[in-house]
Structure 1
Amino acid sequence: MPADQLVSLASLVVKTGRYARGDNLLPSIQSQKAKVVILSEGCGANRSKKIQDKCAYYQIPLIMLNPLRFNAISSKVQGAMSVLDEGFAKSILNQAKLDSSLQLFNV
């Protein structure tokens, strides 16, 4: 299943440290260092809207992921993460395009 490969790639991103989360997430979007943002559907409404609006304004691709799959990425990441590495981002976007159950924005 393509989404499992997407989760595997996102887990590798976390292991390499080429991601931003928490307080560093929005600045990474604003500085356009973020190449793709992965957002859990279980994220709070206010934070989710803020992240979606920032991604739309700065034209950063956004992937909405099922909370169960998102939680499988890492225990460090909660709610949302941005991928800073361009190679990983391209691979993640390619896998996301193969999975019709995912919501993609700004792609």
Structure 2
Amino acid sequence: MNNKQWASFLGLANRARKIVSGEELVVKEIRSGRAKLVLLAEDASVNTAKKIQDKCSSYHVPLRKVTDRYELGHAIGKEARVVVAVTDEGFAKKLMTMLDV
């Protein structure tokens, strides 16, 4: 997955205050149309994964999976995070190119 460069780039997006983490906040961002990309941990619960995948597909928000909740949390300098939304178009596009390798 591009040698984890995406994780440090996500950290940069976090420092620029262009991400939101946590299931409820991410769902709110998707509904409002502010989420440009959603990152979901592979080890998310079945219910959470389904909820996020359904929201993303109905609101046409790109969704990418990352290794696990600890890696996702570590990338933004927090404890484990299952889902993160990127709210900036530029960051979202760059992250997608990094994750789609």
Q: Give the SS at the match of 1:90.
A: helix
The 5 Å alignment of 1:2-81 reads: 2-22=2-22, 23-67=24-68, 68-74=70-76, 75=78, 78-81=81-84
Q: Unaligned stretches of 5+ in structure 1? A: 99-107
Match among 73, 84, 87 for residue 84 of structure 1:
87
1:39 and 1:80 in contact (8 A); partners too? yes
Q: Which moved more, 1:62-71 or 1:39-48?
A: 62-71
TM-score by length of 2: 0.86
Report the TM-score, using the length of structure 1 for normalisation: 0.82
Q: 1:76 to 1:15 in 2, by over 3 A?
A: farther
Instruction: Report what 1:95 is aligned to.
Output: 98
Identical residues among aligned pairs (%):
31
CA distance in 1, matches of 2:16, 2:79: 13
CA distance in 1, matches of 2:17, 2:44: 22
Q: 1:30 is aligned with what amino acid?
A: R
Q: 1:34 to 1:3 in 2, by over 3 A?
A: farther
RMSD: 1.6
Question: How far does the alpha carbon of each residue in 1:45-79 deviate from its partner, in whole angstroms, 9 at most, with x for none?
Answer: 11111000000111111011001532431315610
The answer as to whether partners of 2:73 and 2:79 remain within 8 angstroms in 1 is no
